[in-house]
Amino acid sequence: MSSENIESIVNRCYEHGFVTDIATESLPPGLNEDVIRAISARKNEPEFMLEWRLQAYQQWLEMTEPDWAHVNYPPIDFNAISYYAAPKSDEDRPKSLDEVDPKLLETYDKLGIPLHERARLAGVAVDAVFDSVSVATTFKGKLAEAGVIFCSFSEAVHDHPELVRKYLGSVVPRRDNFYAALNSAVFSDGSFVYIPKGVRCPMELSTYFRINAANTGQFERTLIIADEGSHVSYLEGCTAPMRDENQLHAAVVELVALEGAEIKYSTVQNWYPGDENGVGGIYNFVTKRGDCRGDNSKISWTQVETGSAITWKYPSCILRGANSVGEFYSVAVANNMQQADTGTKMIHIGPNTRSTIVSKGISAGRAQNAYRGLVKVLPQAHGARNHTQCDSLLIGKECGAHTFPYMEIKNPSAKVEHEATTSKISANQLFYCRQRGISEEDAVNMIVNGFCKEVFKELPMEFAVEAQALLNVSLEGAVG
Amino acid sequence: MLEIENLHSQIGGTDILRGLSLNVNAGEVHAIMGPNGSGKSTLAQVIAGHEEYVVTDGSVTYKGADLLSLDPEERARDGIFLGFQYPVEIPGVNNAYLLKAAMNAKRKHLGLEEIDAFEFLKLAKERMAMLGMDPKFLNRGVNEGFSGGEKKRNEILQMAMLEPSLAILDETDSGLDIDALKAVAEGVNSLRTPERAIVLVTHYQRLLDYIEPDFVHVLSEGRIVRSGDKSLALELEDKGYDWVREAANG
């Protein structure tokens, strides 16, 4: 097969690389207690929140950066990062989209996210995070009618402090890991969702994150609580402008599902992965965890990870309640010099808990893609079941796929299955498609989308198409 | 429609075709026969544009224009169809999707609108009924877990949907039991039209009992050494390929 052709597809430029010129009020680089106090003060936070941050900071100081992931990068200078940036319009937050800085809207347009159109046509409530502060929130009224709270984390701290105090850090404790501690100390903003008892959230909740200020680490904090018998589907999507310096992103997402509740959390991640030599790109060190706290609860993670220079991410489920269900569906693409170490942890604590893991890793260029998964069955988890399917697709000769499955089974009645495959897009497959008139690029996209189908079908309908398109763009980096 | 002049081709540095010439006109059915390694499949691959086969000399003209400068997908959109000897499996991509993408690539090339989903389904079901295929085929992965006969039938279905000007069927009969062979042959026969040329590449005469060729060519060591009508195939069956080799060398 003509390797030049494939390379040209692979090397197509990142289309979402641009910077919107909006003045930002950033803190100078560096991290100390004063910086944390300044962040908290700017957000006008209550005392408990500041205390929480300061304790996290103290804990972070005692921790060391983890080095066990299958990734390589130069040491990060945490004092060279600015820990807060907000668009100028912060003091005078827009009440509607008309009041939003047109340049901002233009940015969303470039990303193919015409916010109001999108919201209107798709019936999606969008809480868009631009840099660190939410600038547009829609459909609040409709959600309020159902009793659903969907707001920025900062707002939640003011308006629902009792919920924040009760649940913040209850799934991912401050000192859970180095980056979780850092996030707990300096988190800027994020989303807060509360679904009351028995309520089925009337629409998909969606947040678009975007990193836009140079040299600013972005530390999102998301907390979703599904009260008894409730149901919510949440989508997180990201895309970042082109950058020369690595940007650190260390988010924490906590999900709590009480008895009979169900949370579906879908992620489409398309951050700048760096150029073909690995220069620039986002470092994505994320802690995501869901707690099936009540009996018969369910948490489902679906992720399509196409961006970032380095991804370090293991959305996990703690299956505490009896009969609770955890799911993890993942497509992870690594191209050029991208490095991905991603997977999940399923911790079976309650009896008859079930988990499903479907991981599709795609490697191209010189990328390294690792699946790392833990299935842990504790002694009291009678009748626990897990099925893991872990498939790797290689494109080209210089990339790598790695699988690190860990299993700790402490209950003899548990049933745990693990299946793994590795395949390549063959020259014969491409020729076959081309002989049918389909271009090489379309053929690659078609084959890769076929490979990922099991995961895509788990995405909310309106986002499945978008995810496919995104995959194609990234597979402009994923095929060779 | 197709004029091949003194074609030389190699793969991995080994010469396979050594001065092959052949003319195929619209409405004709040609059978290319020959022993293993004589270059039959290479000819099919070169016409389709497989890049591993390097053309070192000669020319191929299709519909009056140089064919060899075109990419495989351009040739396909321009009406060249290769029925593969070993159709590849593409897991997860469903048959209907591939077929529709292929049809639309061609339609786009011809300046036509994309076929709509209902029209496509109707046409596909019609053609599948003609070939005695279960409509469930459409929703299966491309050739995924298909039997040998199903794969070959699927190739003919693609041909029926894409309506090529020139169809080259590479060993379409290999690995088929008699019922499958008959079904495939009926499918091909139903696609014989005055506008369409068909080239059958086959090792055995058996297929020609069901698809009657207008011309039979015998390939040996990369050249056509004998051409004739269908009686040549019978003669070949009778005397074996050694006879041709000797004739060629003698």
Segment A247-256, tens digit of pLDDT: 788 899 999 9
pTM above 0.80, yes or no: no
**β-strands A325-334, A354-364: how paired?**
parallel
pLDDT averaged over every residue in chain A? 80
| Strand B2-11, strand B14-24: pairing | antiparallel
The mean pLDDT of B165-180, rounded to a whole number, is 89
In percent, the amount of chain B with pLDDT more than 90 equals 66
φ/ψ (deg, to 5) at A45: -80, 150
User: Alpha-carbon distance A402 to A404, whole Å?
Assistant: 7
Tell me how close the Cα of A1 comes to any Cα of chain B, in angstroms. Answer: 6
Confidence of residue A389 (pLDDT cuts 50, 70, 90): very high
Which of A433, A445, A446, A452 to probe the B interface (max B CBs under 10 A)? A433
Of A30, A29, A33, A28, nearest to A58 (Cα)?
A33
**Residue B92 to residue A450, Cβ atoms within 8 A:** yes
Model pLDDT, residue A117: 42
Q: What's the pLDDT band for A70 if we cut at 50, 70, 90?
A: confident
- Which residues, including other chains, have CB under 8 Å from residue A367's CB and lie 6 or more apart? A334, A335, A336, A337, A338, A339, A340, A399, A400
Beta strands in A171-259, from DSSP E residues, in sequence order: 191-195, 205-210, 221-226, 231-239, 247-249, 252-257
Question: For tokens 């908290």, what's the residue?
Answer: A40
Question: Per CB distance under 8 Å, which residues of A are interface residues toward B?
Answer: 1-2, 423, 426-429, 431-440, 442, 446-447, 449-454
B219-246 mean pLDDT? 85
pLDDT at A243: 52
- Using a CB-CB distance cutoff of 8 angstroms, which residues of chain A are in contact with residue B158? 436
Are the beta carbons of B102 and A436 separated by less than 8 Å? yes
Judged against a pLDDT cut of 80, whether residue A8 lies above it is answered with no
| Contact of B79 with B73, CB cutoff 8 Å | no
Q: Give the pLDDT confidence score for residue A112 in this predicted structure.
A: 57
Q: What pLDDT score does A16 carry?
A: 53
Question: Cα dist. A476→A6, A240, A453, B148 in Å?
Answer: 9, 17, 18, 34
Element holding A275 (H helix, E strand): none
Across all residues in chain B, what is the average pLDDT? 91
pLDDT value at position A97? 57
- A102 C-beta neighbours (distance < 10 Å), count: 9
Residue type, B78: D
User: Which residues of chain A are within 8 Å of residue B92 when distances are taken between CB atoms?
Assistant: 447, 449-454
Q: What tokens were used for B183?
A: 């079904």
8-state DSSP, A65: -
* pLDDT of A200: 95
Query: In sequence order, what E strands does A185-324 have?
Result: 191-195, 205-210, 221-226, 231-239, 247-249, 252-257, 262-270, 282-292, 298-305, 310-313, 316-319
A393 close to A360: Cβ distance less than 8 angstroms: yes
pLDDT range class, residue A210, cuts 50, 70, 90: very low
Average pLDDT score over residue span B7-20: 93
What are the angstrom distances between the C-alpha of A227 and each of A233, A265, A293? 14, 16, 10
Contact A428 B51 (CB under 8 A): no
Residue A238 has what pLDDT? 55
pLDDT tops 60 at residue A78: yes
d(CA B39, CA A246): 55
Mean pLDDT of the region B69-75: 96
Confidence of residue A214 (pLDDT cuts 50, 70, 90): very low
Average of per-residue pLDDT across B61-90: 95
Q: Are A243 and A209 in contact (CB under 8 A)?
A: no
Long-range contacts of A112-116 (CB under 8 A, 24+ apart): A113/A208
Alpha carbons A269 and A265: distance in angstroms, whole number: 13
Torsion-angle region of B171 (φ positive above 0: left; ψ -120 to 50: alpha; else: beta): left
Compare all CA atoms of chain A with the CA of B110 and give the residue at the minimum distance.
Answer: A437
Min Cα–Cα distance to chain A from B232, Å: 31
Q: Which residue of A has its CA nearest to B73?
A: A437
Of A147-151, A182-186, A407-411, A462-466, the one with minimum mean pLDDT is A462-466
Contact A435 B162 (CB under 8 A): no
Give the pLDDT confidence score for residue B10 in this predicted structure.
93
Are the Cβ atoms of A431 and B98 closer than 8 angstroms? no
Query: Range with the lowest mean pLDDT among A416-425, B119-128, B171-180, B207-216?
Result: B171-180
Structural domains in chain B plus CATH codes: 2-249 (3.40.50.300)
pLDDT level of residue A82 (50, 70, 90 thresholds): confident
Residues A426-459: tens digit of each pLDDT:
889 999 999 999 998 889 888 888 888 888 888 8
Taking residues B229-247, what's their average pLDDT? 81
**Of residues B2 and A239, more confidently modeled:** B2
Residue of A nearest to B101 (CA): A438
Q: Name the residue facing B93 among A1, A439, A447 (closest C-beta).
A: A447
Choose the closest CB to A437 out of B51, B91, B106. B106
Report long-range pairs for A12-16 (Cβ below 8 Å, ≥24 apart). Answer: A12/A476, A12/A477, A14/A242, A14/A272, A14/A273, A15/A473, A16/A110, A16/A111, A16/A239, A16/A240, A16/A241, A16/A242, A16/A270, A16/A272
pLDDT at B241: 78
Look at residue A69 in the predicted model and tell me its pLDDT: 75
**In the structure encoding, which two tokens stand for residue A148, read together?**
């659903």
Our CA angle for A213, A277, A370, nearest 5°, is 90
Contact A438 B82 (CB under 8 A): no
pLDDT at A128 over 70: no
Contacts of A436 in chain B (CB under 8 A): 76, 98, 101-102, 105, 158, 162
SS3 call for A11: coil
Quick: pLDDT tens for A263-306: 999 988 777 777 777 677 788 889 999 999 999 999 999 998 88
Percentage of residues in chain A having pLDDT higher than 90: 41
Average pLDDT of the segment spanning B6-14: 93
Q: CA A54, A58, A63 angle in degrees (round to 5)?
A: 140
Q: List the domain boundaries for chain A.
A: 3-475
Q: A435 and B81 in contact by Cβ < 8 A? A: yes
Between strands A221-226 and B29-33, the pairing is unpaired
Q: Which helix (H) or strand (E) holds A433?
A: helix A427-435
Count of other CB atoms within 10 angstroms of residue B130: 15
Confidence at residue B247, expressed as pLDDT on a 0 to 100 scale: 63
ipTM above 0.85, yes or no: yes
CA-CA distances (angstroms) from residue A94 to A24, B150, B247? 16, 62, 90
Q: What is the mean pLDDT of residues A219-228?
A: 94
Q: Report the residue from A1, A432, A453 with minimal CB separation from B84.
A: A432
Band (A125; pLDDT cuts 50, 70, 90): very low
Q: CA-CA distance, A305 to A333, in Å (whole number)?
A: 6
Out of B72, B93, B141, the one facing A434 most closely (by C-beta) is B72
What does chain A come to in residues? 480
Smallest Cα distance from B210 to chain A, Å: 26
For A8-17, A440-449, B3-12, B202-211, which range has the lowest pLDDT when averaged over its residues? A8-17
Query: Higher model confidence: residue B239 or residue A17?
Result: B239
| Per-residue pLDDT, A103 | 52
Q: Which of A9, A421, A435 to mutate to test the interface with B (most CBs of B within 10 A)?
A: A435
For residue A393, what is the nearest residue in chain B, using CA coordinates? B91
pLDDT grade for A91, boundaries at 50, 70 and 90: very low
Question: Which chain B residues touch A1 with a CB distance below 8 Å?
Answer: 51
Contacting residues of A for B82, CB less than 8 Å apart: 435
